[in-house]
């Protein structure tokens, strides 16, 4: 039987928050909500379940998918109903209980300007804030209960709480716990996964050190992959046309498998194959390539065959350019002051800017990508993030540029110099017009220009 390991830091933080919400501490305002956030795959939800089981408490679960509905008000009412259910369970069973909402940022977080902000999103934020401020007076719509509601701690999990409504996550309403397991935590968690398989502690440490950038769920998936060969043999032995009936209508006896090869070398081999699959997904970026290629083809179809594409020029009307970019600037902020690249860059014999002679530090493909995006009427944003926040995807805007290729390239060079130890990427923002005159703010391209471990 598999034995699971709970890191002491995680256990203490969760247990303390739950317990103090059931205590009557004099003159102490205890936050009702505990927000556990961190990068994907680090076992936040699973660790919570292990702590709940160890403490013997009741859990009422909700998912991010329940925070939206075709009927306005349903998710907010459901949160109140589930909160009261947890309180009733605690009263009847005489034990502590919690309300847990998983992946809350996927339900009510705003990832970028294109995220739809619905009435239900507003009501869910308002309801959670109201419950945090009045945890013993949670009423259902259309009724009023004079009896105080049992105070129930609320646990929220997610990846990036920066996308949530700021008043909801303020101190006093929510305690924040960033879960970033240490090396010792990872070794302990992975050791628990492989304990029943007889893998030594030293091999576990070597395995974790071989894949230091992987989240803990990577190792659980690796263990599962070890059984793929035996399952394939089972299918071949029974017949692919009979396996469905055999598995579903079995005689009740569990299918027996021989013990897989749990040697360190075999584990590393399977792990490397999984990493190659991850890299291939990141490298292909098929959707982005398709969108860019489709836009290029549409623009080419609209241009006369005898007329070459015009070289990119600064916007003739700076005021109108700023106005058209106002909506995006409102979310990402204005660009930094950078030198006017158009006045300093050398020009070739045709009078066009010679980017490569001035921008030798930039990849030619990156320069061409910026030119192509702006030629199609799109905006180019530059974003940065340090190594720690890169794992949670918390990128920060360096600037947004519209119509001026030279200024965008100069800004990118300045950003690379200022953030030599950070990740830097360019983002293409669609400039297509929608019905009603509003601009389409979809992200059509994201390209990482610099990684701290790489040499430009």
What pLDDT, on the 0 to 100 scale, is given for residue 348?
41
Name the pLDDT band for 197 (thresholds 50, 70, 90). Answer: confident
C-beta of residue 38 within 8 angstroms of C-beta of residue 394? no
How many Cβ atoms from other residues are within 10 Å of residue 387's Cβ?
12
249 pLDDT more than 50: yes
352 pLDDT more than 50: no
> pTM here?
0.61
DSSP reduced 3-state for 45? helix
Total residue length of the chain: 456
80 pLDDT more than 80: yes
Mean pLDDT in residue range 7-28: 94
361 pLDDT more than 90: no
C-beta of residue 76 within 8 angstroms of C-beta of residue 120? yes
Cα(84)–Cα(158) distance, integer angstroms: 23
Cα(82)–Cα(275) distance, integer angstroms: 40
Cα(128)–Cα(374) distance, integer angstroms: 43
What pLDDT, on the 0 to 100 scale, is given for residue 129?
96
Domains of the chain: 8-178 (3.40.50.300), 184-281 (1.10.8.1070), 286-302+309-450 (3.30.190.10)
Mean pLDDT in residue range 128-154: 91
- State what percent of residues in the chain have pLDDT above 90: 45
Which structure tokens are listed for 266?
A: 């075999």
Name the pLDDT band for 117 (thresholds 50, 70, 90). Answer: confident
CA distances from 185 to 7, 48, 182, 210 (A): 6, 15, 5, 16
> What is the separation of C-alpha 204 from the centre of its chain, rounded to a whole number of angstroms?
28
Cα(259)–Cα(229) distance, integer angstroms: 11
pLDDT (tens digit per residue) in 18-66: 999 999 988 899 999 999 999 999 999 999 999 999 999 999 999 999 9
DSSP 332-380: H-PPPP---HHHHS-B-TTSSB-HHHH-TTS-HHHHHHHHHHHHTT-EE
Mean pLDDT in residue range 437-452: 78
What pLDDT, on the 0 to 100 scale, is given for residue 356?
40
């Amino acid at each position: 039987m598999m034995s699971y390991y709970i890191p002491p830091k995680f256990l203490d933080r969760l247990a303390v928050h739950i317990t103090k919400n059931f205590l009557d501490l004099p003159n102490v305002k205890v936050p009702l909500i505990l927000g556990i956030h961190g990068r994907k795959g680090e076992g936040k939800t699973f660790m919570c379940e292990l702590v709940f089981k160890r403490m013997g408490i009741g859990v009422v679960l909700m998912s991010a998918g329940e925070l939206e509905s075709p009927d306005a008000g349903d998710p907010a009412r459901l949160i109140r109903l589930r909160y009261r259910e947890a309180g009733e369970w605690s009263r009847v069973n005489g034990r502590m209980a919690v309300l847990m909402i998983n992946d809350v940022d996927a339900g009510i977080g705003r990832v970028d300007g294109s995220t739809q902000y619905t009435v239900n999103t507003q009501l869910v934020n308002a309801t959670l804030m109201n419950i945090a401020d009045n945890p013993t007076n949670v009423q259902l719509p259309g009724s009023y209960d004079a009896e105080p509601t049992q105070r129930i701690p609320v646990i929220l999990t997610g990846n990036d709480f920066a996308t949530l409504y700021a008043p909801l996550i303020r101190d006093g309403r929510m305690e924040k716990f960033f879960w970033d397991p240490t090396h010792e935590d990872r070794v302990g968690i992975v050791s628990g996964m492989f304990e029943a398989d007889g893998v030594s502690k030293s091999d576990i440490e070597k395995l974790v050190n071989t894949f230091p950038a992987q989240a803990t769920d990577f190792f659980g998936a690796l263990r599962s992959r070890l059984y793929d060969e035996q399952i394939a043999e089972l299918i071949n032995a029974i017949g692919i046309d009979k396996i469905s009936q055999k598995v579903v209508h079995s005689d009740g006896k569990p299918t027996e498998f021989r013990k897989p090869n749990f040697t360190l070398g075999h584990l590393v081999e399977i792990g490397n194959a999984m990493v190659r699959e991850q890299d291939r997904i990141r490298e292909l970026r098929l959707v982005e390539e398709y969108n860019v290629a489709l836009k290029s083809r549409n623009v080419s179809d609209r241009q006369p065959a005898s007329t070459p594409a015009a070289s990119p020029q600064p916007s003739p009307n700076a005021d109108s350019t700023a106005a058209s970019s106002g909506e995006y600037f409102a979310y990402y902020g204005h660009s930094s002051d950078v030198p006017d690249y158009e006045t300093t860059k050398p020009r070739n014999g045709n009078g066009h800017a010679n980017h490569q002679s001035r921008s030798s530090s930039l990849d030619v493909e990156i320069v061409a990508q910026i030119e192509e995006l702006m030629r199609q009427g799109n905006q180019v944003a530059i974003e940065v993030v340090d190594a720690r926040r890169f794992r949670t995807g918390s990128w920060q805007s360096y600037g947004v540029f519209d119509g001026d290729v030279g200024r965008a390239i100069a800004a990118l060079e300045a950003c690379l110099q200022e953030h030599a130890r950070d990740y830097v990427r360019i983002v293409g923002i669609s400039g297509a017009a929608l019905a009603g005159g509003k601009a389409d703010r979809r992200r059509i391209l994201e390209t990482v220009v610099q990684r701290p471990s790489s040499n430009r």
